[in-house]
């Protein structure tokens, strides 16, 4: 199974060249081999909600709400793995081992390990600090 990090989800949503590369490689997999995390959803939602709060014009709000709806639709079309007890145990282990990356990234790594998944991310440097985690960048 591959697990899409927030950055890979964003690239797919934007329709960028990098997103096309990711999409091309994903086509070789079965749909049940592709997932993302509830943490990635949280990260992207926080970003869009902050953007909506800063929207100075009605026109900007209308546009941003359209993007927010597309985000929701994208997450409805992919398996979203939970931060469950197994992931929570991995997260606690990482904390005890003093793995030094951001809390949300650490939760994503915990979900990946708890589900024996390869994490797809551009943030190989940080995720490379997580013992036992297999991470790849399919955008390059």
H/E stretch holding 86 reads helix 85-96
Sorted by where each begins, the domain ranges of the chain are: 2-39+79-136
Please answer whether residues 5 and 119 qualify as being in contact, where contact means their C-beta atoms are separated by less than 8 angstroms: yes
- The residue behind tokens 């959803």 is 41
Q: How far is CA 33 from the centre of its chain?
A: 15
CATH class of this structure's domain 2-39+79-136: alpha beta
The three-point CA angle 121-63-120 to 5° equals 5
pLDDT in tens, the chain (140 residues): 999 999 999 999 988 899 999 999 999 999 999 999 999 999 999 999 999 999 999 999 999 999 999 999 999 999 999 999 999 999 999 999 999 999 999 999 999 999 999 999 999 999 999 999 999 999 98
């Amino acid at each position: 199974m591959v697990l899409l990090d927030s950055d890979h989800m964003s690239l797919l949503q934007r329709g960028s060249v990098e997103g096309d590369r990711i999409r091309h490689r994903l086509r070789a997999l079965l749909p049940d081999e592709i997932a993302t995390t509830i943490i990635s959803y949280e990260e992207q939602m926080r970003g869009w909600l902050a953007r909506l709060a800063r929207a100075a014009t009605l026109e900007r709000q209308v546009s941003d709400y359209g993007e927010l709806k597309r985000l929701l639709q994208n997450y409805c079309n992919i398996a979203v793995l939970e931060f469950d007890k197994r992931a929570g145990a991995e997260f606690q282990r990482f904390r005890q081992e003093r793995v030094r990356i951001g809390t949300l990234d650490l939760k994503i790594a915990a979900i990946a390990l708890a589900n024996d998944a390869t994490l797809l991310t551009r943030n190989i440097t940080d995720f490379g600090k997580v013992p036992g985690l297999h991470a790849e960048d399919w955008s390059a």
